[in-house]
Structure 1
Amino acid sequence: MIVCRLCGSGAMAGVVDLGATPPCELFLTADRLDQPEQTFPLHLRVCTDCWLAQLPPLITPEDTFTEYAYFSSYSSSWVEHARRFVDGLTLWPDSFVVEVASNDGYLLQHVVERGVRCLGIEPSANVGAAAVEKGVPTLTEFLSPEVGRRVREEHGPADVVVANNVYAHIPDVVGFTQGLRALVADDGLVAIEVQHLLTLMELNQYDTIYHEHFQYYTVASAQRALASGGLTLVDVELLPTHGGSIRLWAKPSGEPSERVADVLAREKAAGLHEISGYANFAARVAKVRRDLLRFLIDAADAGKTVVGYGAPGKGNTLLNHCGIRPDLLAYTVDRNPYKHGRFTPGSRIPILPPEAIETDRPDYVLVLPWNLRDELVEQLSFVREWGGRLVFPIPRLEVVE
């Protein structure tokens, strides 16, 4: 029996079943192409008691994050987003900032530049090493209550704890939140950025459902999750990042702001605090799939070439759910050299350096990291030189002239 990881309830309702796929970040090397891949069900459910949307923990964080293919700094807009966040913090010379899942130092590098003491906690040794090269002190660990207490004992309590794009990645929600509480000073702040289930549902962003995202938050369910570890949600911001995110501000004690009440009211109006709000999502997902496949098949029949841009985890959910293979998408490109020469999991589409697009001049470029649309439209402006067009699959199929 599947039970809710937050409240323990067995009242779990299906939201959308995307079949079975490999873990989205396990990119294949050429010597593994003749070997089998393990797949896992990708069925999103929601708890009708606490309204946390979630996947069963079929893989462990250790399976995914011990060596990781995602380096945050390859997105210039994300680095700039992090810089603006740090600029907005009130920090003193003796402040102490900790970031959990600090990746390659994309955010803490800005703290280092300000001469403020900081520490990254990053489980992936390969990306953590990139942070150290930037001068960001980094501890290679998964956050737990024990690790949080140890860091506090060794370094003192943190004035600010940052946890961007990690709160969805941990199956032990309560233990992780307790770890955050152990890190932060009694008068300190915890800032968490995570995708907002409201925009995921409204804008058909189903490709962000993958195995390393164990849960999907409304402000209502995040408020309960924070309370489970001894933190109080005191404020929330709506952000455009990742297609629509929430920045949760939490403290060991405090009162929720009016903005928290406003977003809770929006979620309730959308039906996400009751089962009715989830009823039509699977049908809208199916339409995204049909529209994209119809476009790719028609393009192939017309002798047009289609390649991809980007190899994000979300792209692998889309490719596998749609059954897209190299006959419909010849290859995709990515700025991350780690992925060059590898193949996407499941769909086994080759990943090449970005220069391949300019060399081959395809008719269409399917943009898989659609959340970086503004940044990528500018980067790919050269495609118009030969009459090429960009294709965005989410929230609905759009071919850009």
Structure 2
Amino acid sequence: MTEYLPAADWTARADLAALVTALDPEGTGNCRWVGGVVRDTVLGIPAKDIDMATTRSPEETAARLTAAGIKCVPTGIAHGTVTAVLAGGPVEITTLRRDVSTDGRHATVAFSTDWRDDAARRDFTINALYADPRTLELFDYHGGQADLAAKAVRFIGDARQRIREDYLRILRYFRFQARFGSIPADSEAEAAVSELAAGMKGLSRERVGWELMNLLGLPNPAPTVRRMAELGVLAQVLPEVRESGLTALEALNDRETHLNVPNDALRRLAALLPADSAVADQVAARLRLSIAQRKRLNSAAARETGPTDARALAYRIGIEEARDRLLLTGEPVAVLDGWNVPRLPLKGGQIVARGIGAGPDVARILRSVEARWIKEGFPDEARVMELLDAELT
């Protein structure tokens, strides 16, 4: 029985229709939507990135797009990929491929015109779904729809072979397991990722960091992360994690759910790690985190246990960093909702105007007034002037 992709907002986009016309004006079926956009639409999930596969060579694809007035960027033309820049967002278009050789990090590919060749080189059955852009007819060569329905994340063909082609697929497996899978997981997949986990050591740090942060940003990654630890996978990418870190992540996940706090991958990473700035620096460098991410991870590592004045903390280190620490230590955080960090309504010039000579005394008085102002819960300017009077007296 022929099955079809459900209609969605993106399937009705005019710019995508123009793209299809440019690549396949005769309607011969030489291009199809592929991968995540098809998978998510089958599940009724809003689609993000849109990818297309085609039997045309990358050079011909680029030429047809240019002729149709569609901006084309050769983002990976050696591997068969060009990107069409459309009003509704970019679309990656990749020529059908088959693997010739792999080294666990990169694959040497040959272009193909066989859709089954292309499907066979993909990682998981749920990612090897294709849809005709005009009729929305679905093409499923490896039982991906059945696996979606069963919440089964399975490698295509031999799991060990798929992993040896690219060891990053181990982390991708856990990301998809956390997002789409059920418990218990596929036994063959788990055996393969456990056996071959050490192969991840040769991966680029950027790729590992990207996959790990995307996994931690999912709604409830804690059970999957614990399973990664049990299978010996987590130790290959985050050897700093101990049982206390896994427990902390579980507690944080529960707290975020109870308080309806948005998912935050960096805060979850901080939960996994010990409260140690040196460790935070080491992990941030290894995962190639941005400067802003490193700053937040370091701030979270400086968390302290015990009662904390939430607003005083936020005044000192910032709202986002304070919220991280409070959530990680289990302290109330609602007091920060809708609150903006105030500015001390007192400047050094006002102190000088009261007869204090410019210099260290001004700074000392300013710090003293500020400390009392914070302790009193950030009162208004009139009260600050009273505090200044008391300090000068």
Q: Name the structure with the higher strand share.
A: 1
Structure having the higher Rg: 2
TM-score relative to the length of structure 1: 0.24
Which structure ranks higher in relative contact order (CA pairs < 8 Å, sequence separation ≥ 6)? 1
